[in-house]
Amino acid sequence: MDVDPVEEFPVLARLLQAAADRGEGTVLGLAPPGRSRIGRVSRVDPKVFAERLAAAYRERSPAMIRYATRKVGDPSRAEDVVQRAFEKILRRQQGDPPEITNIQAYVHTAVCNEINRELREVIPARATVSIDDPDRADDTPSSPVDVSTQVTDAALLRDALASLSPREREAVVMRMQWQLSVAEAAEIMQLSTGAVKRYTSDGLRRLRERLDPAIVA
């Protein structure tokens, strides 16, 4: 029987969503940390990347605007949010660009980050830190926040997510933190809905095993 991960792992689902609300997100679509600074010689040139980004905008912006509208409540504001996110990616690529392995996941992270910024302008107390920035120049980790609701340290959750396979991490973050539907996550990951469900469940199970000592009863 198909069991929704929220039902199968309710504590983890609340943990991950609370982390996203606080801004403790995960940047998807980048080369694995172990490959940092290694694949630079094969990086695409700015013109080619700009063409790929333009194609991603044409293909994905309608869906991203719909997603942003769900968060900010206004289609006009949502369209501005999505456009700003793409513009920031393009500016970053002209400086010291990261190695991107999944441009759709990467730009969606940028949109999530811009949504957080937009919401903070309306509700300043909503969060003090935005979701990790694809266009941020440094790798400074976020400061630990009060996670007394479920887990002892936000860094533990970040490390646990980093320990998952790339596919598991993508599925968990998209479904639990970004709150995408299975179909939406499948479109970005270019997988079947069944594969997304499997990766989500497997990833949540591994997270539960890794975080078990830190979860408050």
Residue with tokens 């393009």: 90
Residue at which a domain ends, from 114, 141, 168: 141
The CATH number that applies at residue 203 is 1.10.10.10
Question: Domain count of the chain?
Answer: 2
* Contact present, 190 and 55 (Cβ < 8 Å): no
Q: What is the pLDDT along the chain (217 residues), one digit of tens a residue?
A: 466 676 778 888 888 877 777 766 677 877 665 544 444 444 567 777 788 888 888 888 998 999 899 989 999 999 999 999 998 888 877 766 667 778 888 888 889 888 888 887 765 444 433 444 455 444 434 443 344 444 556 778 888 888 899 899 999 998 988 888 899 899 888 899 999 999 999 999 999 888 876 654 3
> 168: buried, middle or exposed (CB in 10 Å: 19+, 13-18, 0-12)?
buried
**Do 172 and 118 lie in a common domain?**
no
Query: In terms of domains, do 114 and 12 share one?
Result: no
Q: Are residues 91 and 121 in the same domain?
A: yes
Domain limits for position 66: 26-141
Q: Beta-carbon neighbour count of residue 99 at 10 Å? A: 17
Q: The whole model's pTM is what?
A: 0.69
Q: What is the helix (H) or strand (E) element at residue 182, kind and residue range?
A: helix 182-189
